[in-house]
Amino acid sequence: MNSTINVLENRCSIRSYLDQELMVEEKETILNAAYRAPTAGNMMLYSIIEVESKQIKEKLVETCDNQPFIKKAPFVLIFLADYQRWFDYYQHSQVEEFCQQQGIPYRFPQEGDLMIACSDALIAAQNAVIAAESMGIGSCYIGDIMENYEVHREMFDLPPYVFPIAMVCFGYPANKPDQPRPRFDGKFIRFKDSYRRLSPDELDEMFNEREALLFKNRPELNGAVNFGQFQYRRKFGADFSQEMSRSVRAAMARWLEH
């Protein structure tokens, strides 16, 4: 196994960090790795905000589902899906007038543009995460940055065609699990030539290990009798998930105003 595969196989989320700042060179290495990520049309449809302010980190603890470790992370990056920069460039380049002269449609960023910008931003984030991991620097993704869009829009002065798709906390691990958490067997994830829905028996097999572990460690599950019920209540049906959906709808409505 080469060193890259070893990093990928053993990476796990880290939420407890040493009180040790990252060196400037380490931060730049992580950021440069992000910049080298694959990107649609070499457009780099993302921006990155480095959060240095302690006050902003403390606010993010509140707005990102009350996760205290955020304020203790030495290095925090917010990855933004960003079509604003390109659209500003189009306007600066008098593209609307050009379209009129050429008889071709002029349009504003739409749904597909948001999706491809989100893809670019997330690929860049993962490059940063793996680069950090290779240097012994742990990380944790925070998807809750998608919540409370109106608050985050004001906090970070986000224009219409910019959306915060992910936040990543970085730092040297204060402690690290002996081994990463197990993933689902690939036979439930990988298909050939077309998608296939899993049968009830396959679903039971897929979740057997997680369900057994759940009932071993949590005898009281608030009425849940299987992993699906527990996970629905904890994640999919939880208040933060509903807020995330509301927040994304608000961001998309602003994106699609034109």
pLDDT, one tens digit per residue, over 3-41 is 999 999 999 999 999 999 999 999 999 999 999 999 999
pLDDT grade for 1, boundaries at 50, 70 and 90: confident
Task: Provide the pLDDT confidence category of residue 178 given band limits of 50, 70 and 90.
Answer: confident
pLDDT of residue 214: 85
Q: Give the pLDDT mean for 183-201.
A: 98
Please report which confidence band the pLDDT of residue 222 belongs to, taking 50, 70 and 90 as the band edges: confident
pLDDT number for residue 223: 85
pLDDT at site 58: 98
Q: What's the whole-number mean pLDDT along residues 151-165?
A: 99
Report the pLDDT averaged over residues 75-104.
99
First vs last C-alpha separation in the chain: 51
Strands of the chain (E only): list them. 46-51, 75-82, 138-142, 162-171
Percent of the chain past pLDDT 70, that is, above it, reads 99
What per-residue confidence (pLDDT) applies to 219? 64
- For the entire predicted model, the pTM comes to 0.96
Give the residue-averaged pLDDT of 107-132: 99
Has residue 99 got a pLDDT over 90? yes
* Mean of the per-residue pLDDT values of the chain: 96
Tokens of 50: 């480095």
Asked which of 57-71, 190-204, 208-222, 238-252 is least confident by mean pLDDT, the reply is 208-222
Distance in angstroms (rounded) separating the CA atoms of residues 59 and 71: 9
Spatial distance between the Cα atoms of 156 and 152, rounded to a whole number of angstroms = 6
Residues belonging to the chain: 258
What pLDDT, on a 0 to 100 scale, did the predictor assign at position 220?
67
Partners of 138 in beta bridges: 171
Share of the chain above pLDDT 90, in %: 91
Angle at the Cα of 169 from the Cα atoms of 9 and 38, rounded to 5 degrees: 60
Domain parsing of the chain, residue ranges:
3-181
Written as six digits, the tokens of 1 are: 């196994």
Torsion 24-30-33-35 (CA) sign:
negative
Residue 91 pLDDT class (50, 70, 90 cuts): very high
Phi, psi dihedral angles at 204 (to 5 degrees): -60, -45
Q: What is the pLDDT of residues 234-256, one digit of tens each?
A: 999 999 999 999 999 999 999 99
Q: What is the CATH topology of the domain spanning 3-181?
A: NADH Oxidase (3.40.109)
β-bridge pairing 75-82 and 138-142: unpaired
Residue 75 has pLDDT above 90, yes or no: yes
